[in-house]
Amino acid sequence: METILTVEGLGKSFKERQIVKDISFNVKRGEIMAVLGPNGAGKSTTIRSIMGILYPDEGIVKFHQCEAGEIPRNKIGYLPEERGLYKNVKVMDMILYLAELKDYPIKKAKERALHYLAKLGLEGKEKVSVEELSKGMAQKVQFIGSIIHEPELLILDEPFSGLDPVSQEVFKSEIKELAQSGTAILLSSHQMNMVEEICDRLFMIHRGQRVIEGTMIDVKNEYANFKCTIRGENEAAVLERLSHVSRVEQKGDVSIVYLNQEVVVPQWLKQLPETLSIQELSIDRISLHEIFIDIATDRHIIKEESASHA
Ligand SMILES: Nc1ncnc2c1ncn2[C@@H]1O[C@H](COP(=O)(O)OP(=O)(O)OP(=O)(O)O)[C@@H](O)[C@H]1O
């Protein structure tokens, strides 16, 4: 697959404080790449540097083979983290204005706008003023504005935030369709379930630096240890004493036993004491949401350190 966006060794400081350091990744045609990280990790700084809104101190951003001033901005679509449209402008005029800024033919833009307004549940809203829209509706209009000119690369900074579950599903399938039609998509999100469902690869930043990168399957294989969920009255201390247990969480009569990377699941199951109360038992890989929490709270580092001291 052809590489559309390349980021190499990106670094940015504000007032001598290093915000992002040595960030490198790429996004290919038809691929959905997620940029993840806790609040303040440096995702928006990375995205703004790619968009040319910020000047990185170090590194290169390439669109195909074009760098900096040569990048054809009308081939890129951007939904910024800060939502904002002119308030006293009609929906269709707003979208056509955004298309015009990208030198996109107005007749075609109008057809596309009507198509997407209908698809996103805003049929008949063309002449409504932006200020009369709800927050979610305005976000949909801004999303349409970011794709109206058929960009080759689409950058979405937290596209799902502020949307109800139905609208999130609509956005999700729209983003998937755009990727299937060949658009390269880079998105940042805190909704790990969404990321898990739609993204092909992910890149996680923590304190301005890369901590994870890879396909969803690679990341799961590398970081997603197993967890055993047991329903039954059991004392946490008993479960904690079992081998390969990194921690135990209990809620009512359900215990979640997190297992470390070295565990061999069939062997682990064989050594469970007969005295355990088991009404139900399941073994699963931990989710991306749990991987994120492990990394953001430095639990995986603690685990690695304790393993290396063992
Ligand atoms: N213009 C600026 N001047 C000074 N510091 C800034 C500026 N922009 C961002 N920062 C700092 O850079 C760090 C990273 O911010 P950034 O917005 O990139 O994080 P983020 O990962 O997008 O976070 P969030 O998930 O909260 O949106 C934060 O500590 C923030 O305070």
pLDDT at 301 over 70: no
**Do residues 157 and 291 both lie within one domain?**
no
**Do residues 48 and 172 both lie within one domain?**
yes
pLDDT at 308 over 90: no
46-90 pLDDT, tens digit each: 999 999 999 999 999 999 999 988 999 999 999 998 777 778 899
Q: Which atom of ligand 1 is nearest to the CA of 45?
A: 18
**Do residues 168 and 260 both lie within one domain?**
no
81-127 pLDDT, tens digit each: 877 777 889 999 999 999 999 999 999 999 999 999 999 999 999 99
By residue count, the chain amounts to 310
> 């199951």: which residue's tokens?
269
**Do residues 47 and 148 both lie within one domain?**
yes
**Do residues 154 and 287 both lie within one domain?**
no
Is pLDDT larger for residue 217 or for residue 20?
20
* Per-residue pLDDT, 86: 77
The dihedrals phi and psi of 158, each to the nearest 5 degrees, come to 50, 60
The dihedrals phi and psi of 224, each to the nearest 5 degrees, come to -85, 95
Taking the C-alpha atoms of residue 77 and residue 93, their distance in angstroms, rounded to an integer, is: 18
**Do residues 203 and 79 both lie within one domain?**
yes
Distance 19 CA to ligand 1 centre (A): 7
β-bridge partners, 206? 209
**Do residues 207 and 90 both lie within one domain?**
yes
Domain closes at, from 220, 249, 265: 220
Distance 309 CA to ligand 1 centre (A): 35
Q: Which residues constitute the domain of residue 297?
A: 222-309
Sequence-separated (6 or more) residues with CB below 8 Å from residue 301? none
Ligand 1 neighbour 208 (Cβ under 6 A) = no
CATH of the domain at 236: 3.30.70
CATH of the domain at 104: 3.40.50.300
pLDDT at 303 over 60: no
**Do residues 18 and 166 both lie within one domain?**
yes
Q: How would you list the strands of the sheet with 226-231, edge to edge?
A: 245-251, 254-259, 226-231, 280-285
176-199 pLDDT, tens digit each: 999 999 999 999 999 999 999 999
Domain closes at, from 220, 243, 271: 220
* Per-residue pLDDT, 306: 43
Average pLDDT value over all residues in the chain:
91
**Do residues 36 and 173 both lie within one domain?**
yes
**Do residues 169 and 181 both lie within one domain?**
yes
**Interface TM-score (ipTM) > 0.85:** yes
Domain closes at, from 175, 197, 220: 220
* % of the chain beyond a pLDDT of 90: 81
* Structural domains of the chain, count: 2
**Do residues 231 and 148 both lie within one domain?**
no
Distance 41 CA to ligand 1 centre (A): 7
pLDDT bracket for residue 299 (50, 70, 90): low
**Do residues 132 and 267 both lie within one domain?**
no
